Chains A and B, each alone.
Chain A
Amino acid sequence: AAGVIQSPRHLIKEKRETATLKCYPIPRHDTVYWYQQGPGQDPQFLISFYEKMQSDKGSIPDRFSAQQFSDYHSELNMSSLELGDSALYFCASSPHETVYNEQFFGPGTRLTVL
């Protein structure tokens, strides 16, 4: 079965650089969620989109922005990167009408800021 795809899987950036993370949800899933998991931390919700509109916002820094496109894939744009942005970034997707609202997680993008 198709799963959530995230690219790249690994990314190394310098401080103050910009990074773009991509997420391709499971086919027919119209809702996308972004999470940030720091070393030894639990995943923290950043932002979510439903039908290309932002549906909820968590602890996403102002330096970050995200959007969902017409094909439902999503991109997380991160500017002025800081050392503390080094983390595993998960994307998850779900079909909006699902009773269980289960979120299916991608493999994550490991971002390292040097």
Chain B
Amino acid sequence: AQTVTQSQPEMSVQEAETVTLSCTYDTSESNYYLFWYKQPPSRQMILVIRQEAYKQQNATENRFSVNFQKAAKSFSLKISDSQLGDTAMYFCAFMMPPNDMRFGAGTRLTVKP
């Protein structure tokens, strides 16, 4: 079974600074997808960034980028120039197509002014 581990229950960062959220996963498969979802106080699940396991290049979406280390089964999220609106729960998720998605326990990020 696939498992996803987020070892940082809570983190905080000053506005405009950079923060990295950690995620590790366990699988024996070679073809899978990884995602970071953001859940603000509204509880809406919002996709932040995605990474296909077969791609070596790290995904980037504006201020969000990942450090994907396939051999180490690590998938960290870096948020640059943090903004107050980035305050949310962040869930790392693993999916092996076409099955269900497994989420980590989440990291609560607080951006301080």
Our pick among A42, A44, A55, A88 for the contact of B98 (Cβ within 8 Å) is A55
A45-B33 contact in complex given A105-B44, A105-B45, C-beta closer than 8 Å: no
Q: How far is the CA of A16 from the CA of B91 in the complex (A)?
A: 32
Q: Determine chain A's interface SS by DSSP, over half rule.
A: strand
Residues of B within 8 A of A110 (CB): 43
Query: Number of A interface residues, CB 8 Å?
Result: 27
A-B residue pair count with CB separations less than 8 angstroms: 53
* Interface pair A88/B43, CB less than 8 Å apart: yes
* Interface pair A33/B45, CB less than 8 Å apart: no
* Interface pair B47/A102, CB less than 8 Å apart: yes
Q: How far is the CA of A48 from the CA of B102 in the complex (A)?
A: 13
Residues of B within 8 A of A (CB): 33, 35, 37, 42-47, 50, 52, 91, 95, 97-106
Known: A102-B35, A108-B44. 14 other contacts (CB 8 A): A42-B104, A43-B91, A44-B103, A50-B98, A56-B99, A88-B43, A92-B45, A100-B50, A101-B33, A101-B98, A102-B47, A105-B44, A108-B43, A110-B43
